[in-house]
């Protein structure tokens, strides 16, 4: 596999693509509010009202239209910064009070302040070290500030080509970063140090179109073995059950019930990370409000839960004994759109 460094990636026709949608506005049909699932100004208003000032950083801002419109709609006190690799900003954004547009790569650019909102709308699809940008940006949040970025976790792979979808979702969750699998958006409130055991190895600009339909960039990482294994402790009792009421997960005495109307999708996959000694099956239950449950095959009731999801959608029960690692996941059930 030929992996590109940042310099080569930025020259690639996939990144310097004129057909990219760089024109999203703040709200309306082709907009940030629509693609993020929230209106950026709604997030900033409470801060503006309380403190008289707020700051929004938009990474991979394209033409900067959403920022320019926010500057016009919001009261004074809103500081807006947009960063994009390509100097193709909307002429109407030039000279707008409170708006700074920077030409540069989000992999290198560094702000001199913190922000109450940081967004990256369909920008990470074209970035090499997506997790590195995520880690840097999370440190730029003000206390209580919100981060939201589109991230297609299927575009993150281990250096041997294995999809790292499950691993990354788990690492992000453990680090307190939420992933909405339906919208493919990572969110976090408040600054965080994201120290993942993955080292960036390079990018592939020949990955083809991603879920947006546009050619995108896959990012490759080498797993790092860190620290020593802790002494084995008896695992807490965990169990899962799927029935007419929904999904019930029990974890060491606590019970978490999810009703069917809150379940978006269920899938099963085999997670293998040789370097970390991981090889097991996982049932992933994505919830409509963005969170997800990961249920390992060591949970009581795992196989019955997988079978019940498949039965309810009329699908064949997957052969768990022969599930191949490297297949992203096998869908068992999905809520009707
Ligand atoms: C699909 S466009 C989205 C633009 C804007 N967020 C919107 O929704 O209208 C992706 C943008 O990411 C920018 N981009 C790609 N790689 C970048 C990088 N390393 N640093 C900064 N911007 C980058 C591209 O130039 C492009 O403007």
> If you write DSSP's letter for every residue of 290-332 in order, what string do you get?
S-EEEEETTSBTHHHHHHHHHHHHTPPPP-GGGPPTTS--EEE
Q: Are 66 and 99 in contact (CB under 8 A)?
A: no
Residues 192 and 252 in one domain: no
Q: Which residues pair with 273 in a beta bridge?
A: 278
Domain tally, the chain: 2
Q: Does 207 sit in the ligand 1 pocket, CB within 6 Å?
A: no
Domain termination residue (choose one: 223, 249, 272) = 223
Domain termination residue (choose one: 193, 223, 253) = 223
H/E stretch holding 280: strand 278-287
DSSP 178-241: EEETTTTEEEEES------SEEEEEEETTS-B-TTSSB--EEEEEE---S-PPPP-PPPPEEEE
Residues 262 and 119 in one domain: no
Domain termination residue (choose one: 167, 200, 223) = 223
Domain limits at 242? 238-334
CATH number assigned to the domain comprising residue 189: 3.40.50.150
Q: From CA 320, how far away is CA 191, in angstroms rounded?
A: 39
Domain annotation covers residue 162: yes
- pLDDT per position in the chain (337 positions), as tens? 789 999 999 999 999 887 889 999 999 999 999 999 999 999 999 999 999 999 999 999 999 999 999 999 987 899 999 999 999 999 988 889 999 999 999 999 999 999 999 999 999 999 999 999 999 999 999 999 999 999 999 999 999 888 899 899 999 998 999 999 999 999 999 999 998 999 999 999 999 999 999 999 999 999 886 655 555 666 678 999 999 999 999 987 789 999 999 999 999 998 887 766 678 899 999 999 888 898 999 999 999 999 999 999 999 999 998 888 766 689 999 998 6
Residues 148 and 296 in one domain: no
Q: Does 22 sit in the ligand 1 pocket, CB within 6 Å?
A: yes
Domain annotation covers residue 88: yes
Which of 85, 101, 151 for a ligand 1 pocket mutation test, highest count of atoms within 8 Å of Cβ? 85
Q: Does 86 sit in the ligand 1 pocket, CB within 6 Å?
A: yes
Residues 263 and 198 in one domain: no
Residues 82 and 209 in one domain: yes
Query: Cα–Cα–Cα angle for 192, 195, 201, nearest 5°?
Result: 130
Residues 41 and 128 in one domain: yes
Residue identifier of the C-alpha nearest atom 26 of ligand 1: 62
Ligand 1 atom closest to residue 133's alpha carbon, by position in its atom list: 19
């Amino acid at each position: 596999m030929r992996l590109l460094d940042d310099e080569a990636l930025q020259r690639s026709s996939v990144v310097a693509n004129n057909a990219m949608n760089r024109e999203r506005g703040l709200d309306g049909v082709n907009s940030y509010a629509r693609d993020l699932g929230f209106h950026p100004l709604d997030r900033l208003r409470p801060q503006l009202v309380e403190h008289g000032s707020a700051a929004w950083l938009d990474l991979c801002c394209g033409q900067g239209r959403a920022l320019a419109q926010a500057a016009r709609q919001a009261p004074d006190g809103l500081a807006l910064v947009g960063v994009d690799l390509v100097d193709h900003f909307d002429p109407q954004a030039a000279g707008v009070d409170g708006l700074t547009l920077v030409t540069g790569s989000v992999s290198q650019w560094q702000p001199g302040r913190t922000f109450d909102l940081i967004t990256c709308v369909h920008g990470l699809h074209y970035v090499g070290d997506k997790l590195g940008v995520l880690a840097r940006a999370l440190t730029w949040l003000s206390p209580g500030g919100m981060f939201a970025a589109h991230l297609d976790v299927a575009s993150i792979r281990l250096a041997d080509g294995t999809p790292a979808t499950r691993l990354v979702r788990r690492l992000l969750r453990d680090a307190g970063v939420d992933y909405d699998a339906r919208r493919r958006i990572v969110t976090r409130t408040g600054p965080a140090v994201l120290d993942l055991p993955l080292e960036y190895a390079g990018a592939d600009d020949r990955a083809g179109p991603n879920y947006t339909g546009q050619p995108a960039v896959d990012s490759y990482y080498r797993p790092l073995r860190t620290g020593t294994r802790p002494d084995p402790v008896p695992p807490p009792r965990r169990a899962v059950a799927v029935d007419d009421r929904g999904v019930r997960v029990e974890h060491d005495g606590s019970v978490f019930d999810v009703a069917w109307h809150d379940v978006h999708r269920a899938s099963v996959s085999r997670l293998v990370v040789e370097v970390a000694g991981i090889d097991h099956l996982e049932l992933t239950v994505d919830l409509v409000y963005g969170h997800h449950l990961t249920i390992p095959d060591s949970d009581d009731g795992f196989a019955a839960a997988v079978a019940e999801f498949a039965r309810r959608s009329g699908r064949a029960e997957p052969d768990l004994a022969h599930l191949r690692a490297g297949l992203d996941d096998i869908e068992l059930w999905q809520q009707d759109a």
